[in-house]
């Protein structure tokens, strides 16, 4: 017959082996969980892509239009607005816009809570090159304005 101490020693060794096996299994479970999470991030989330729309180019042929150039140089806001409205109605129906005519190169409008695109056009007087105006057009999607108003 084996002594009680030897039996106790064998059962302690068995318990230690079981603990080691449980530790290995738990570590393996954690590694598998990390791999599954990583695969989810890599393959599932990028599949949800946003549809991006190209922003319109507003000043396509305006620099060559004498009526437009003269309207900007004389700061005729009504005529410039009509040119811009015509362009926006033709190629950028989903956008609202605002504009400013200035000689200050550092001037800009502050439009908050909107994703705003901007374009600038520098127009010189053909006879007097020291006389110039800068037309800055700011435009944003119409639905962005509706969303901002709905949040309030």
List, for residues 12-51, the tens digit of each pLDDT value. 566 666 666 777 788 889 999 999 888 888 877 666 556 5
Burial 29-56 (b: 16+ CB within 10 A, else e): eeeeeeeeeeeeeeeeeeeeeeeeeeeb
Say if CB 80 and CB 72 are below 8 A apart. yes
Say if CB 111 and CB 140 are below 8 A apart. yes
Q: Which helix (H) or strand (E) holds 147?
A: helix 142-151
Q: Taking the mean position of all CA atoms in its chain, how far away is CA 84? A: 25
Question: Which tokens hold the place of 37?
Answer: 């999470």
The tens digit of pLDDT for each residue in 72-130 reads 988 899 999 998 888 888 777 778 888 888 887 777 667 665 678 888 888 888 787 77
């Amino acid at each position: 017959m084996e002594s009680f101490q030897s039996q106790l020693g064998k059962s302690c060794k068995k318990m230690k082996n079981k603990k080691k096996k449980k530790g290995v299994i738990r570590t393996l479970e954690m590694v598998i969980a990390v791999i599954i999470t990583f695969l989810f991030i890599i393959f599932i989330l990028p599949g949800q892509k946003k549809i991006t729309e190209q922003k319109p180019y507003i000043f396509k042929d305006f620099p060559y239009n004498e009526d437009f150039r003269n309207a900007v140089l004389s700061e005729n806001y009504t005529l410039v607005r009509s040119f811009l409205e015509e362009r926006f109605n033709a190629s950028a129906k989903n956008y609202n816009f605002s504009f400013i005519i200035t000689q200050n190169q550092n001037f800009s409008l502050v439009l908050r809570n909107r994703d705003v695109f901007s374009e600038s056009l520098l127009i010189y007087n053909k006879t007097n090159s020291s006389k110039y105006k800068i037309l800055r057009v700011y435009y944003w999607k119409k639905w962005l304005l509706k969303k901002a108003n709905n949040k309030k």
